[in-house]
A and B are shown apart, each in its own frame.
Chain A
Amino acid sequence: NAGVMQNPRHLVRRRGQEARLRCSPMKGHSHVYWYRQLPEEGLKFMVYLQKENIIDESGMPKERFSAEFPKEGPSILRIQQVVRGDSAAYFCASSPGVGHVELFFGSGTQLSVL
């Protein structure tokens, strides 16, 4: 029973390029969460999605960041025109849905912007 899969593990981009981070939730999980972790800081909530629906995006920067969780395929966190300040570890978590409070985390994607 595979866990939450994130890829790539490491992603290097130059300033101005686009970054696409993928997250495949655990089998049977319909809810996905994205968090950002900076050195010496905790996990900052970004967005909470259900299949084909954004439930809460209160933690997403207003510009350049977007997320989706299509009916088929992984959830995608997309960062356009990356800047050095976007360098961080991005973690995805999934849960079965409403009524289930435990989050299952992937191993994260380390984004480095040169």
Chain B
Amino acid sequence: AQSVTQLDSQVPVFEEAPVELRCNYSSSVSVYLFWYVQYPNQGLQLLLKYLSGSTLVKGINGFEAEFNKSQTSFHLRKPSVHISDTAEYFCAVSESSYDKVIFGPGTSLSVIP
């Protein structure tokens, strides 16, 4: 069964600094990988997804992630964060387009002015 680990529960970072949010997954088969963002009192929205092809995936709001199959990782990066990026970020995995999506525990990103 697939699972997702997000090693950092909280990440504080200063405005305009770069950030990396870590995600590792376990699965016995090929996977689809996702990053979702949740702003306070809202549902989740998709930042980016990896289905196949290029291992570097670009998403909305300047975020990108790199799929590393050998390390079973899918870390999220942004070169310069804004105050508005303060939110909860969830990494997720699915083994197929007709399978459930499993979420990690989330990383709370706090951008400090």
Chain A positions within 8 Å of B, measured between CB atoms, are: 4, 33, 35, 40-45, 48, 55-56, 58-59, 91, 93, 98-103, 105-108
**CB within 8 Å: A-B pair count:** 59
Chain B positions within 8 Å of A, measured between CB atoms, are: 6, 9, 32, 34, 36, 41-46, 49, 51, 90, 94, 97-106
For the complex, give the distance between the alpha carbons of A33 and B42 in Å.
17
For the complex, give the distance between the alpha carbons of A101 and B51 in Å.
9
Q: Give the secondary structure class of B's interface.
A: loop
Does the CB pair B101–A33 fall under 8 Å?
yes
List 26 contacting pairs A-B, 8 Å CB cutoff, sorted by A.
A4-B43, A35-B103, A41-B105, A41-B106, A42-B6, A42-B103, A42-B105, A42-B106, A43-B90, A44-B103, A45-B100, A48-B100, A56-B99, A56-B100, A58-B100, A59-B100, A93-B44, A98-B97, A101-B34, A101-B97, A102-B34, A102-B46, A103-B44, A105-B36, A107-B42, A107-B43
